Chains A and B, each alone.
Chain A
Amino acid sequence: MYTQGLTPETETPVRAIGDEAAMARFQARIDAEQRIEPNDAMPAAYRRTLLRQISQHAHSEIVGMLPEGNWITRAPSLRRKVALLAKVQDECGHGLYLYAAAETLDATREQLYDDLLAGKARYSSIFNYPTPTWADIGAIGWLVDGAAIMNQIPLCRCSYGPYARAMIRVCKEESFHQRQGFEIMMTLARGTDAQKRMAQDALNRWWWPCLMMFGPPDTQSQHSDTSTLWKIKRFSNDELRQKFVDATVPQAHHLGLSLPDPKLHFDEISGHWRYGDIDWEEFRQVLAGHGPCNQERMAARRKAHDDGAWVREAALAHAEKHKARAA
C-alpha cells in the first residue's frame, strides 16, 4: 500500500478536485477502469466516501475479533482451537491492511482508532450479536464470512488502488474462513441431537442479522449512487444480498437445517430464492448502539487500549532514548 510517505512534503497529501473540467477528467479515468492512487487528484467527496468505508471496514475487522475470540479458550478440540486462533488473527491482520489503506487518504490510524473508541465511527452491525454457543463459531464462519466475501470480492476491483490491493490480500486469506465455518456446522448437523439443536439455534439467530449486513435496501441507501458512479461499489446492497441468499439456502438444505423464514421460497421464473421482510428497525437499533453486545464490544476494545497505554508509551520512550544514545 502507498502511504503519506510517498507524498512530497510540500504537497497537500491528497489533491482535491474543484472545477468541472477536472471532475470530468477524473470520471473519465474511473470509466476507463484506471485505478486512482493516493497522490492523484480526486474529488473531496471521493476521498471522504472511501475514508469512511475503508475505516469502517477496518474497525469491523478489529471489533469482529471479539465474538469469535470469545471461544478460543473453549474450542472443543485442538484442531478447532488452532484454526479459530489463526482465523481471528487473520482478522486483526485484515484490520491492519485496511487501516494502512485508509492512511493513504490523509488520515492516521491513531485518529481513526480513537474515533472508534470514542464511539464516533461505525463498524459492521453483525459483531454486536453474541456467541453463546460453539455453534456460533460455525455460523459466523459460514454465514458472516460468506456474506463478507460477497461484499469483498467485488471490492478487489474497486477504483481506489490501495483499497483494491488490500482486498485482494484479504480475500486470498479469507478463503479458509468460510470453509472452516461450514465444516463446523456440518460436523454439528451430523452429530448428536444436542449438536443439531445447537446448529439450528445458531442459524436461527444469525440468519436475519446476516441479511442486514448488506445494508439498507437500495430504495433507502444514502451512499450507493456516487459509490457506484465512482466504481467503489460494483453491486447494490440488494443485489449482493440476493446473491448471498441464493448461494446459502442450498447449503443450509445440504446441512439439513431449516431457515427461520416462513416466506422463503424458490421463484422458478427468476431463478432466485425470495426471502421475507427484514426487520430494518432492529438494524437501525443495533447501528444506533442498542444491539445485544454493543456495550461489551466497545468496552473490551477500550479496556485493551487503556490497559496497553503504558506499553505503547514505554516503547516510544525507549525508542527515543535509543535514538538519543545512538546520536
Chain B
Amino acid sequence: MSTASISLSKEPLVRFILRRADDALVLGHRLSEWCGHAPLLEEEMALANIALDHLGQARALYTYAAEVEAAGLDEDAYAYRRDPVDYLNVLLVERPNGDFAHTIVRLWLYSAFMSLWWQAMTGSKDAQLSAIAARAVKEVAYHLRHAANWLVRLGDGTAQSHQRTQMALDQLWPYAGEMFTSQPDEEDLIATGIAIDPETLRQAWLTRIMNEAAQALLKMPTAPFSQQGGRSGNHSEAMGHLLAELQFMQRTYPGAQW
C-alpha cells in the first residue's frame, strides 16, 4: 500500500464530490470534538448524532469519488492521505468550535444552506448523488431544526447568551459566502444537471436566516462575505491542527491496517 499523500484528481466530478465530502468530514470532526465536553448530557447525545450523520455522508461521498476516479483509492485514502492544500472544504466548517453559541450558529448557517442544497441534489442526473441526497436531506432537516431551536433559546435567553450568540453570528458571517461559490470546473456538471449552482440557493437561504435570526432577536451582520479560499485549498491555521490530529495514525504508521 502506498503511504505517500495521494494527488488530487483533475476529474471535475471527483472534485465536485470531494468538495462536499470534505465539508462533511471536517464538520463531523469538529462536532465530534464536543464529545465528553458538551454543556448538558442530553446535548452530548444530539451533537454526536449530528457528527455521525456528517461522517456517514462523508463516507458515502468518498466511496463514490473512489468509484468515479477508479484509481484504486478508498474512503480512508481521501480522508487521511491528502496534503492540506488538497482538502476542498469551505473555511466555515474548519473554524474552531469556539463556545456553544459558535457551534450552534455555524451549524445553523451551514445546515440552512445544506438543506436547500441536498433538496436540489435529489434531482441530480447522477443517480448515485441523487440517492445520497435523498438520505442526507432528511438528516440535515433535523440538524437545521436542532440548531434553529437552540439559536432561538440562546438568542432570546439571558443577556449573556444573547451577547455570545450575536458575537458568534458576527464572527462567522464573513465565512458564509463561500458556500455559494461554484468552481470553474463545475460549469459542465451544472449545465448537464449533475451538479447545481449554489448561487441559485442564496435568496431562499437568506430569507430563512433572516427570519430565524429575527426570532432569536439577533441583528443581521452587515459585514461582507469576505473570507474564502477553502474550496481552492487555501486553508486557515486551524485546519493544519485539525489535520495533524485527523491524520496522526495514518501518517505515523504508514501502510498499516486498522
Contact = CB atoms under 8 A, between A and B. Distances in A.
Q: Do chains A and B touch in the complex (CB under 8 A)?
A: yes
A89 B257 CA distance: 25
A92 B48 contact: yes
B152 A318 contact: yes
A201 to B, nearest CB: 14
* Residue from B36, B43, B157, B253 with most neighbouring chain A CB atoms (10 Å): B36
B248 A74 contact: yes
Interface stretch (B6-14, B51-59, B122-130): B51-59
10 A-B pairs closest in CB distance: A308-B39, A314-B157, A314-B161, A76-B249, A89-B48, A311-B39, A76-B258, A69-B36, A318-B153, A304-B37
B253 A88 contact: no
Contacts of B256: 76, 191-192, 194-195
A192 B256 CA distance: 7
Nearest to B31: A85
Interface string B33-73: 10111111111110011011001101100100000000000
B203 interface: no
A313 B101 CA distance: 13
Contact of A310 (B38, B164, B245): B164
B95 interface: no
Interface residues of A, number: 46
B154 interface: yes
B45 A312 contact: no
A23 B104 CA distance: 53
Contact of A311 (B40, B44, B248, B250): B40
Contacts of A194: 253, 256
B79 A78 contact: yes
A303 interface: yes
Contacts of A191: 256-257
B219 to A, nearest CB: 18
A72 B35 CA distance: 8
B207 interface: no
A155 interface: no
Contacts of A66: 36
B2 interface: no
B75 interface: yes
Contacts of B222: none
Task: Using C-beta atoms within 8 Å of the partner chain, give the interface range for chain B.
Answer: 35 or more
A300 B58 contact: no
B186 interface: no
Main secondary structure of the interface of B (DSSP, over half): helix
B156 interface: yes
A310 B160 contact: yes
B45 A318 contact: no
Contacts of A300: 36-37
B99 interface: yes
Contacts of B55: 78, 81-82, 85
A187 interface: yes
Contacts of B42: 96
A76 B250 CA distance: 6
A9 to B, nearest CB: 26
Interface string A62-88: 100110010011111110111001101
A85 B246 contact: no
B152 to A, nearest CB: 7
Given A78-B75, A85-B52, A195-B256, A62 B156 contact: no
Interface in A296-314: 300, 303-304, 307-314
Contact of B39 (A73, A80, A312): A312
Residue from A65, A77, A96, A321 having most chain B Cβ neighbours under 10 A: A77
Contacts of A181: none
Given A78-B79, A80-B258, A85-B35, A314 B44 contact: no
A78 B58 contact: yes
Given A62-B41, A81-B55, A318-B157, 13 more contacts: A73-B246, A74-B246, A76-B250, A76-B256, A78-B59, A85-B48, A85-B51, A99-B41, A310-B160, A310-B161, A313-B160, A318-B152, A318-B154
Interface string A164-195: 00000000000000000000100100011011
A271 B194 CA distance: 66
Interface in B209-258: 245-246, 248-250, 253, 255-258
A86 B49 CA distance: 8
19 contacts: A74-B246, A76-B249, A76-B253, A78-B76, A81-B32, A86-B48, A89-B49, A134-B258, A187-B258, A300-B37, A307-B37, A308-B38, A313-B157, A313-B158, A313-B160, A314-B161, A315-B157, A318-B153, A318-B157
